[in-house]
Structure 1
């Protein structure tokens, strides 16, 4: 389980979960499961013709300032696994301390891992420092997506003040292949509204495809983006295919993200054109 760099503030949650799957004699099985309150891992029956599914559930209902979470997923050699969350992750207003979520994803040789959590919602005055560390073998494949909504759009609330630090690191074969960092702090409403910033967007998403064959997806993904209803682009760097989506309507962006993920898993891995059922509940 990926430990946070510092303990949670007194009275705050300090939890997490770790899941590892392995392949033995041609059968995939759970090799490790660790759960620390308020986090739990569920294993619902996968849809017909689809892969094993692990569902991360935050039984606390959301994350407050000062909370810490460490999430670790490992797909052993030759395994195939989909990981999502039970619901959107809500970041509540903080009185000062930052919440921290550290995620570690490992994909071993010839394995396939999908990291497709539901969206993160930043309430006004929430503060989140998020770190995502990804380590792949040269022949491992990863399809990952993270969506962020700035403010509770359904309640007419904007994200005006707060902190969002988002740090991604991707390594293939032990070598750094892609690094990305975002820092939004203090008067974030100005950055979100500025034409030189987010241009009035209320939601963004990042999509990654990493591993053998990912490079060949770039042109098709750009065409798929162009046929959609939100602004999106795709870039290839050191064998890492990066997709970005941005838009003023979170629901439209979420719908488009699901459509693109379905296309990617079908085109790249021959899997059903869909996201986990929990996305539709």
Structure 2
């Protein structure tokens, strides 16, 4: 949430330099429980057994201060008939230094990956890579969002480097993986002042919806409405090839307006999951 500028207090971009590497695995089947991990331990959302009703798993691994040297490496599996909601406690804050996350997901049920935006502070270098492999009737809703940092403290687009890459693919009958969507962004201070390129924009989000199981979300993303224009938000949806789904770009001066637009476009997710992702936050 963007704050109103006020007298600048002393702010440090360099928390204690304690390097952490986190490796996790989350598996979700028709009957799930929720789990999480911090520090060096392994994250598991594990399910065994069957059942007619789809299960809901909740994995909250980010939403913390990413310190110099931190790495999150997470493998996710969502079994047929299950829904996994991946969210965060709050925005992921990247401090000065290099941090990164890598998420690999194999999905035969439904995966909803809806974290809060990443906020990179002055001097930060942050990289994110997400690869989702859809098998069978697998479906995906994914939000990839970031902000200008903390402009209230004079740190607007003040990070060194930000990169994000999303690859969504589907397993074919011959076991080949056919790309559905490949999206990447790189913001590097060595290429010129980042703030000048973004103009008044302080928040940006890309939203993906893929698969027949999330068809209501796909249609909602493709709707052309006037709410965004009234709020001064830039909104650009596109249909993916072979009618697999949709992708939408959202940009705005105020972070809350961008998040409100994303929430409105994903209004059907709560019904799909049986729980509102915002209210499910720990």
Aligned to 1:150: 148
Stretch moving more, 164-173 or 148-157 = 148-157
Separation in 2 of the partners of 1:226 and 1:192?
27
Cα displacement (A) at 1:260: 1.7
Q: Please, which runs of 5 or more residues in structure 1 have no aligned partner?
A: 1-9, 44-49
Aligned to 1:208: 208
Cα displacement (A) at 1:179: 1.0
Aligned to 1:72: 75
Show CA shifts across 1:178-206 (max 9, x none): 11111111257734433xxx332111111
Q: Please, which runs of 5 or more residues in structure 2 have no aligned partner?
A: 1-16, 46-53, 172-176
Alignment map for 1:115-154 (pairs within 5 Å): 115-154=113-152
Cα displacement (A) at 1:225: 5.1
Assess, with a 3 A threshold, how the Cα gap between structure 1 residues 151 and 137 changes in structure 2: closer, same or farther. Answer: same
Cα displacement (A) at 1:82: 1.4
Separation in 2 of the partners of 1:22 and 1:278?
19
Cα displacement (A) at 1:249: 0.9
Cα displacement (A) at 1:21: 1.3
When normalised by structure 2's length, the TM-score is: 0.75
Cα displacement (A) at 1:92: 0.2
Question: Are 1:258 and 2:260 counterparts?
Answer: no
Separation in 2 of the partners of 1:260 and 1:176?
24
Cα displacement (A) at 1:264: 5.4
Aligned to 1:180: 183
How many matched pairs?
A: 248
Does the CA contact (< 8 Å) of 2:107 and 2:139 recur in 1?
A: yes
Cα displacement (A) at 1:62: 1.0
Aligned to 1:105: 105
Question: Are 1:249 and 2:249 counterparts?
Answer: no
Alignment map for 1:23-38 (pairs within 5 Å): 23=30, 28-29=31-32, 35=37, 37=39
CA RMSD across the alignment? 3.1
Show CA shifts across 1:56-81 (max 9, x none): 2459x411232211122211111122
Does the CA contact (< 8 Å) of 1:215 and 1:241 recur in 2?
A: no
Aligned to 2:22: 15
